[in-house]
Copies of this chain bind each other. A is one copy, B any other.
Amino acid sequence: MSIDELAPKCGEWLKGSGPESDIVISSRIRLARNLADFPFIRKCSDTDRIEIENTLHKAVAKIDSWQERVEYVDVSDLSELDRQFLMERQLISREHSEGSGARSVAIDSSEQFSLMINEEDHLRIQVMQSGFDLHTSYDFIDQIDNLIEQNVNFAFHARLGYLTACPTNVGTGMRVSVMLHLPALVMTREIDRVLRSMTKINLAVRGLYGEGSQAMGDFYQISNQVTLGRSERDLIDQISEVVPVIIEYERNARAFLKQESRNELNDKVKRALGILNSAESISSEETMHLLSSVRMGVNLGILDNVQIPTINKLFIHTQPAHLQKLHGMELSSADRNAARAQHLRRSLQN
């Protein structure tokens, strides 16, 4: 499996299956881990970073069941385009992409998990799953964590828990995040109130591409901020209790729109598909905005000739680096807009 082979496919987490998948795109968990025998990344020499990579590569290579399943990618050796591609794919973080020095990522062939080596911490394990199922995700990441820990010595403090480069991750080192599609709350202008209530209970809200990214396409990523002094199960339980409340708000807003603004809703959805099917040039931002309306339209039964997995895939495949990989060459911004429009027309008319 090479990066080029990844491009036309799509990860398991975009399959549009799993509980509540009309609203919850994906559930993700990541664990931050550090090797006890090395300083934190910030204090690492170049040699340290290389040794950390070697140590972790060997630890992973010892796991028999992953032999066929996991591929290493040397991130420091990648072109900017390939790094952006992996980031759009959610397989590496922006920090990992834009960092410097020896760093790599081990990618599961079905993209259910990835292991970032030498990101902010020595190791970041992440699992991604379609729909809303944090307990399954947690069982899965816990198993991965144990498999790796059999072969390495993680920095762990009896009272504090796992030690991490940034104090906000100390303890469990865990971040739980759920990607929600909330177009009706945006349309009814209730979204701000809902998001404010999230931050009041110490949950962070971000867009599709993590910290600092705007909430394009009506996607909101809800995640925990605090990791210290709480068990993994506690954190999972908190998010597992809050997310159904947001889902309920979104469902109510959709029902309200269907009841009270049926014509405007139909118009918005049909126009969105009409534009995606006819544009000759389209930006990434407009694409996400329109795909969001189409996705809601399918989920509300307004459109029946488009499939959710197709739309989920388009959200990722119309991102700049994906477009260029699919096109087999680097493209200017104007050419990307044309290629994006063509890709959308072909995908939606199939």
Contacts and interface: CB of A to CB of B under 8 A. Distances in A.
A274 interface: yes
A313 interface: no
Contact of A274 (B266, B277, B338): B277
Contact of A267 (B264, B267, B279): B279
Residue from A274, A275, A277 having most chain B Cβ neighbours under 10 A: A274
Query: For the side of the interface on A, what is the size category?
Result: 10 to 19
Nearest to A270: B278
Residue from A264, A275, A278 having most chain B Cβ neighbours under 10 A: A278
A271 B263 contact: no
Contact of A278 (B264, B274, B279, B281): B274
A146 to B, nearest CB: 53
The interface residues of chain A, by DSSP majority, are classed as helix
Contact of A334 (B263, B275, B280, B334): B263
A273 interface: yes
Residue from A264, A270, A275, A334 having most chain B Cβ neighbours under 10 A: A270
A270 B279 contact: yes
Interface in A322-350: 334, 338, 341
A263 B267 CA distance: 27
Interface in A241-295: 263-264, 266-267, 270-271, 273-275, 277-282
Stoichiometry (number of copies): 2
Contacts of A280: 263, 266-267, 270-271
Contacts of A264: 281
Nearest to A302: B280
A64 B273 CA distance: 57
A341 B267 contact: yes
A304 to B, nearest CB: 15
Contacts of A277: 274, 278
A275 B281 contact: no
B275 A271 contact: yes
Nearest to A334: B263
Nearest to A277: B274
Nearest to A268: B280
A263 B336 CA distance: 12
B278 A338 contact: no
Interface string A117-154: 00000000000000000000000000000000000000
Contact of A263 (B263, B273, B278, B338): B338
Contacts of A282: 267
A341 to B, nearest CB: 7
Contact of A279 (B274, B279, B338): B274
Interface string A203-227: 0000000000000000000000000
7 contacts: A267-B282, A267-B341, A270-B279, A271-B278, A273-B278, A275-B278, A277-B278
Given A274-B274, A275-B275, 15 more contacts: A263-B280, A263-B281, A264-B281, A266-B280, A266-B281, A267-B281, A270-B278, A270-B279, A270-B280, A271-B275, A271-B280, A273-B278, A274-B277, A274-B278, A277-B278
